[in-house]
Chain A
Amino acid sequence: MQEISRRVTLQALVAAALGAPGLASAQAAGKVNFIGWSAAVDQIKAHIAAFERDTGVLVNYENFPFAQFRTALVTRLVGNAPIDVAWISDAWLPEFAEAGWLADIEDMPNLKRYGSETAAYCNQSMTYKGKQYGLSYYGDHMSFMYNTEVLQKAGISTPPETWDQVVEQCLKIKAAGIMEYPLLLSLGADTWLIEFVSALAFSFGGSFVDDKGDSIMGAANGGAVAAARWLHDAIHKHRILAPGAVETVELNGLRAFGSGAHAFTIEPTYRIRSLNDAAQATAHGKIRLAMMPKGGPRGTHDTCGWIRFYGMTPAAKADRARRERTVKFIEYFGGRDTKGEYSLQERLLLDVGLPSCALPLAEDTEVKTFWTRWAGGGEIVARQSMAARKKDVISPWFGEWVETSNQAWQSVCLGRATPEAALGALGNKWNELKRAFR
């Protein structure tokens, strides 16, 4: 056997090291590079397999936990990593579009045509400065949920219509000795907190910013301050909400509510499926939806809606072959598949509970059966969806501002700051970031 010298071995190793990235790029060539967060992974993988079979286009799929996703995606985009399409949150759209990391789809008729079949707030949420930036992955809103068994035990026949009634019913439940804290709100400083407080502020007829985008969140008679005051009173005055709510992140809140230890909560609508699933929640079959209670004299049933969508990178758009593959991918995943069906969107709803932005799906028999089975009917979901509003704080500086926002709301809940002072300071931070952005 011929002896291999050290020099030859070293040369081979160096060649392999230098050749490896080239090999990886060669493998990536001709594929759609797609990045998402670690959600519905099985459904996405199955749909990728179907896409590859139906179109002959291969897909590189990577996923990261949602908590780290924005940072991971941004660092990759800054480093010019070969990304064609990624899941994007509506909250990131302005900053990503301003940074030049997302390409609009205005000149892509294959994708634009879905606008007429998409719920209005979903279209609005994918649009920045008049241009649409993708097709939806899913769209949802915050829903008010209640435990029918608890209400029944307390002799309450109908769920509350207003936040004042929420207090009354909670006090009644407490007085009956059924539970100490009938209301559960996940006010831990995680990514969901802004959606919770936005829903609350909207239901008090409030907004965080005016039409010009200037802060009105600290206005003494504004809905945001009223909502913050209500939260403070719920914890410190009425004692219907546990002080530990500031420690409860959404997932823990979901588990606690699913255990049947609380009467009312606010959760993303898609959680209704797991809450009524015997395999996942003790209180299964007892959780129902009601319209978001109205707060104060200017109260509405409005809630906070959000969407996640498939966004294309400018690099993918600039190259003809990549663009064609990516458009095919986005249509197959965010629109109709090659059979003309919204197969993924339907699968995501039926398997995971993720509501779709696609209007035609509302008439689908399986979808109707889904809502009947898991939510006792789709009427409330449809009505609440019509009253869903995009977060008005979505802006290029949202990512920086939201950290301060979480702290401000928690300070109010802890009784460390008055609603006026906390939200006033938060408004100042908003204006400061807005000025700095110009």
Chain B
Amino acid sequence: MRLRLSYDDRSAAILVFPVLAVLLVVAAYPILYSFWVSLHDIVLTRPLRRPFVWFENYERMLGDARFHTAVLRTTVYTVVTVTVTTVLAVGVALFLNESFRGNKLLNALLLLPWATPSIVNGLMWKWIYDPTYGLMNALLVKLGLLDSYRAWLGDPDLTLFLISNAAIWKQMPLAALLLLVTMKAIPDDLYRAAKVDGATVFQRFVHVTLPALKPGLMLVLVYETMISIRHFDLFLIMTQGGPGDASYTLSWLIYVETFRSLRFGTGAALSYLLAMLTFLLSWLVIRALGERNA
């Protein structure tokens, strides 16, 4: 059967084609090719051999102790970062939703950490935590909360949380802004009606603000989860996966496997595993919040 297209359909197809072609070249092809790579045992330093190994790379990585450590570290990091970012963002959004003098200036200032380049953010926090000249040590010693300077990032029990803190500092402003936009859309009538019914501030927050915030919260949770789970730059700048394996996350493992060990096959397999994990988590968040919202 011959497909008959109208003039409008053909025009639309012609206009869309360049974008489709670019997407195929820059997105679809690399995605499919990297999957093909993940099915091969490609080690860059052994260019003469690249056997097709089916899903052996996936199997090997799923059984690798480093992978298990990385999943655990990534989970802890993501849960802490997303939870704290979201809670703080809700608080800041509530505060900025009030009318007071200097509100607009605060709104603008709030964006500063978010506008700071990731590399700068990483370096800044690395300096703050520095064991010899760091601001955090100086402050805590001056306040009498610490006897002597500590190597904060050298403490494997704290490393992940300190990196998380640096991430929260940068990511929270955008989350707060997204929630603020949703908050502004809540009709004042709802608050007035709740007040008339004798609802307290806390009750108004729980029964009016939070339900209305769900679309914004879902967006923030999905976005922050996707960002946190794939976070790499702070780990590269601040700890390089260390000390020991204290900050050995999935993104770091992918970097080590691909760019240090030059094992492109397992690196690609790990990337797919990470992508699947990201999709799964995002789907769970959307489902959980989406259903309740419906």
Q: Mark A163-207, 1 if CB is under 8 A from B, else 0.
A: 000000000000000001000000011100000000000000000
Q: Is B45 an interface residue (CB 8 A)?
A: yes
B241 in the interface (beta carbon within 8 A): yes
State which of B46, B148, B244, B248 has its C-beta within 8 Å of the C-beta of A246.
B244
A283 to chain B, nearest CB (A): 15
From A245, A247, A414, residue with most partner B Cβ within 10 Å: A247
Specify which of A100, A189, A396 is in contact with B242 (CB 8 Å cutoff): A189
The answer to whether A71 and B259 have CB atoms under 8 Å apart is: yes
A12 at the interface (CB under 8 A from B): no
B159, closest chain A residue (CB): A247
- Report the bound CA distance from A190 to B242 in whole Å: 10
Interface string of B246-283 (1 = CB under 8 A from A): 10100000001001111100000000000000000000
Stretch with Cβ within 8 A of A (4 or more), from B8-16, B78-86, B98-106, B149-157: B149-157
Q: Is the CB of A256 within 8 A of B132?
A: yes
Nearest chain B residue, comparing its CB with the CB of A412: B244
The answer to whether A96 touches B256 (Cβ under 8 A) is: no
Separation in Å of the A185 CB from the closest CB of chain B?
A: 13
Question: Are A247 and B151 closer than 8 Å at their CB atoms?
Answer: yes
A75 within 8 A of B: yes
Q: Which residues of A contact B243 (CB under 8 A)?
A: 189, 246-247, 410, 413-414
B179 CB to nearest A CB, Å: 36
B169 nearest CB across to chain A (Å): 20
Q: B98 to chain A: closest CB distance in Å? A: 42
Partner among B151, B153, B239, B261 whose Cβ is within 8 Å of the Cβ of A400: B261
For residue A179, give the distance in angstroms from its CB to the closest CB of chain B. Answer: 12
Contact flags A395-424 to B (C-beta < 8 A → 1, else 0) = 010011001001100110110100000000
Bound CA span A416–B154, Å: 13
- Name the contact of B131 in the complex, choosing from A190, A247, A399 (C-beta under 8 A): A247
Q: Known: A246-B154, A403-B261. Is A396-B244 also a contact (CB below 8 A)?
A: no
Q: Is B47 an interface residue, CB under 8 A from the partner?
A: yes
Determine which of B154, B244, B260 lies in contact with A411 in the assembled complex, contact meaning CB atoms within 8 Å. B244
A244 within 8 A of B: yes
Q: Is A98 an interface residue (CB 8 A)?
A: yes
Q: Which of B46, B48, B243 has the most CB of A within 10 A?
A: B243
CA distance A96 to B45 in the complex (A): 7
Q: Is B245 an interface residue (CB 8 A)?
A: yes
List B contacts of A78 (CB < 8 A). Answer: 44, 47
**B240 interfacial contact with A, CB 8 Å:** yes
A151 and B155 CA atoms in complex are apart in Å by: 30
* 8 Å CB contact of B240 from A95, A180, A189: A189
A74, B262: Cβ atoms under 8 Å? yes
Q: Complex formed: what's the CA distance from A243 to B131 in Å?
A: 10
Q: Pick the contact of A247 from B48, B154, B248, B259 — CB < 8 Å?
A: B154
Which residues of A (353-401) have their CB < 8 Å from a CB of B?
396, 399-400
Q: How far is the CA of A247 from the CA of B243 in the complex (A)?
A: 7
Complex alpha-carbon distance, A95 and B132, angstroms: 39
CB A342 to nearest CB in B, in angstroms, measures 32
Contact B156 A416 (CB under 8 A): yes
Determine if B260 and A99 form an interchain contact, defined as CB atoms under 8 angstroms apart: no
Instruction: Specify which of A243, A245, A411 is in contact with B245 (CB 8 Å cutoff).
Output: A411
Q: Tell me the bound Cα distance from A71 to B264 in angstroms.
A: 12
Nearest CB on B from A350, distance (A): 32
Q: Which of B46, B154, B263 lies in contact with A243, CB distance below 8 A?
A: B154
B56 to chain A, nearest CB (A): 12
A209 in the interface (beta carbon within 8 A):
no
> Nearest Cβ distance between residue A303 and chain B, in whole angstroms?
25
Most buried by B among A75, A396, A410, A413: A410
Rounded to whole angstroms, the CA-CA distance of A95 and B244 in the bound complex is 26
Q: Are A242 and B151 in contact (CB under 8 A)?
A: yes
| Residue pair A98, B46 in contact (C-beta under 8 Å) | yes
CB-based contact B244/A416 at 8 Å = yes
**Supplied contacts A189-B240, A403-B256, 8 more A-B pairs, CB within 8 Å:** A99-B45, A100-B48, A190-B240, A244-B150, A244-B151, A244-B154, A247-B242, A414-B154
* The 3 residue pairs across chains A and B that have the minimum distance between CB atoms: A244-B151, A247-B154, A244-B131
Binding site for B on A (CB under 8 A): 71, 74-75, 78, 95-96, 98-100, 180, 188-190, 242-247, 256, 261, 396, 399-400, 403, 406-407, 410-411, 413-414, 416
- Chain B interface (Cβ < 8 Å from any Cβ of A): 44-48, 131-132, 148, 150-151, 153-156, 239-246, 248, 256, 259-263
